[in-house]
Chains A and B, each alone.
Chain A
């Protein structure tokens, strides 16, 4: 596959992911991930390996399912009423890796709740792998500007 078509495929996957998240289609979002996956946000924005560092979240697939179950429980009060999000990503840079790629992008997200709009920005790193012909997310790292400074609750998905 040419690098251009790989980049187009990665771009389509990230766009699909952004829509699923903003639509709060949690089940659809989970389907984009490989079974053995990692979804995480380091506290230190320069951290590239969260294993031995403190993170804002560091989810394997079962923990992602817990997170979604909690959001859907009706008793995750930080999300009652639910946060609405609208996100965009750009400056996608794709480097082939194995049968997939590393996709780096910048993101901007507006999160709205109870009359308050918050602007959150940072970088995504998606490590994509091929599963049964399709690209799936093996790792998603969210590097948030100011993640090591004081934050309001961020219980919505990035």
Chain B
């Protein structure tokens, strides 16, 4: 297993932006370029957003057994998610309480605890300091446990952590987006989700919010991903429906409270269209095959169609995207550098043929050589390139502003091409980035 170290220090607390009010940088339908390029804004975001709200850290199926662990980040804070002996998920900061060395080096694995190899201090899975070499001096073990976020909660297998002891309960925070998480979890009927251990892991030179915004951006699909549609057209001989905005009349986007949002593709991702995409995959069942027999399970056709995932993309503020069959983590590295980790969800109790198709479907679009994701990353980098210009200060998010349905102040519904989700994300951003925040 290769070790990835991408975390970087972002200066000391002496250079932090303090109580500066950044909320005026995000108006209802336009955002100042500083939101994407100013290191001071980034520092404030790490404190006021990532340290203060709920941040996704992993899925139950990534740490099934006691001792299973996964290294990850809460904002720029390196942490380790573990399964404790009592079965509860724990999160510890990956930093020896003594002299600061990282105590967990691999992206995932199984351990009985953590041992700092610098001076030999040992810690339990919950971070408790268990042992210090030399017993000739007293050590306050309680005060020197690994740091832990005070709150860890999960919803239907999705584990979140918060460094804010006063954060509202996780389900209150997720509230309106819960039914969409349910749709993701239940998209293959009763089959439990099993996150693939391997991930496609990419970095781009651009701000973390570009990925969050883009996941629920229906406007860009026909343009940024033209080459995918060209490939599909070449194979099926038909023009894929996403190409025409007029034909996508019923597809919607929604913004919810707390910055969450969904792009709902149910009306365009027809059974026929999903089937066409699946039939192109390497090792797909031949035309006319009996799918129960091919997959070795009853309900083979439903499981086959479920391999595209639920036809929607969900952005959970600030760092989790669900889309197709993928769980996507957004890791901000610096104001202009972001890591995106994508893992497909497989099914826990099906014949291997079903999961083989799901892996191949992920590979079609995702990862550094996919037919979809790299073109998004390219656009993020072109935005970074353009935002170097200081003569033009604002980025516009106006599409659909006058036409979206305002169900409540925080719940708004628009056409798939509207920038309703992005305006919702920045309403939340504004709440968190004010001076009193």
Residue of A73, A75, A76, A151 near B368 (CB, 8 A) is A151
Cβ contact within 8 Å between B369 and A154: yes
B199 A60 Cβ-Cβ under 8 A: no
Verify if A52 is at the interface (C-beta below 8 Å from B): yes
Interface string of B1-21 (1 = CB under 8 A from A): 111101000000000000000
Contact of A150 among B6, B231, B369 (CB under 8 A): B6
In the bound complex, residues from chain A placing their C-beta under 8 Å from that of B200 are 43, 54, 56
B-binding segment of A2-10, A25-33, A62-70: A62-70
Encode contact with B along A106-144: 1 for CB under 8 Å, 0 otherwise.
Answer: 000000000000000000000000000000000000000
A14 within 8 A of B: no
Question: Which residues in chain B, 317-362, are within 8 Å of chain A measured between CB atoms?
Answer: 339, 343-344, 352, 355-356, 359-360, 362
Select one of A51, A58, A73, A148 contacting B1, CB under 8 A. A148
Q: Do B3 and A70 touch across chains, with their CB atoms under 8 A apart?
A: no
Asked if residues B379 and A69 are in contact (CB atoms below 8 Å), the reply is no
Cross-chain contact B228 with A70 (CB below 8 angstroms): yes
**Count of chain A residues with Cβ under 8 Å from any Cβ of B?**
36
Contact B359 A150, beta carbon cutoff 8 Å: no
Contact A52 B203 (CB under 8 A): no
Complex partner residue of A57 from B4, B196, B363, CB under 8 angstroms: B363
- Asked if A52 contacts B356 (CB within 8 A), the reply is yes
Query: Complex: how many Å from CA A55 to CA B339?
Result: 18
Cβ of B230 within 8 Å of any chain A Cβ, yes or no, is yes
**Contact of B201 with A by CB under 8 A:** yes
Whether B231 and A60, one on each chain, are in contact in the complex, defined by CB atoms closer than 8 angstroms, is no
User: Is B375 in contact with chain A by the CB < 8 A criterion?
Assistant: yes
Tell me the complex Cα distance, A152–B202, Å.
6
In the complex, what residues of A have CB within 8 A of residue B282's CB? 58-60, 62-63
Instruction: Decide if B235 is an interface residue (CB 8 Å cutoff).
Output: yes
Instruction: List, in ascending order, chain B residues with CB within 8 A of A75's CB.
Output: 226-227, 230
Q: When each residue 70-102 of chain A gets 1 if its CB lies under 8 Å from chain B and 0 otherwise, what string results?
A: 100101111000000000000000000000000
- Residue B204 is within 8 A (CB to CB) of chain A in the complex: yes
Give the distance in Å from the alpha carbon of A68 to the alpha carbon of B196 in the complex.
28
Looking at the complex, which one of A51, A56, A66 makes contact with B369 (CB distance below 8 Å)?
A: A56
A113 CB → nearest B CB, Å: 10
Q: Report yes or no: A152 in contact with B359, Cβ–Cβ below 8 A.
A: no
| B283 pairs with A60, CB closer than 8 A | yes
| CB pair A54 B375 closer than 8 Å | no
Determine whether the beta carbon of A149 is less than 8 Å from that of B280: no
4 further interface pairs, Cβ-Cβ under 8 Å (given A62-B280, A149-B4, A153-B373): A43-B200, A55-B359, A75-B226, A151-B201
Residues on B facing A (Cβ under 8 Å) = 1-4, 6, 107, 196, 198-204, 224, 226-228, 230-231, 234-235, 280-283, 339, 343-344, 352, 355-356, 359-360, 362-363, 367-371, 373-375, 377-379
Give residues in A with beta carbon < 8 Å to B: 41, 43-45, 51-60, 62-63, 66-67, 69-70, 73, 75-78, 145-155
29 A-B pairs within 8 Å (CB atoms) are namely A41-B369, A43-B367, A52-B352, A53-B359, A54-B343, A54-B344, A56-B363, A56-B368, A57-B367, A58-B359, A60-B283, A63-B281, A63-B282, A66-B235, A69-B234, A77-B224, A77-B378, A145-B2, A148-B1, A149-B4, A150-B4, A150-B201, A150-B202, A150-B203, A152-B202, A152-B204, A153-B202, A153-B373, A153-B377
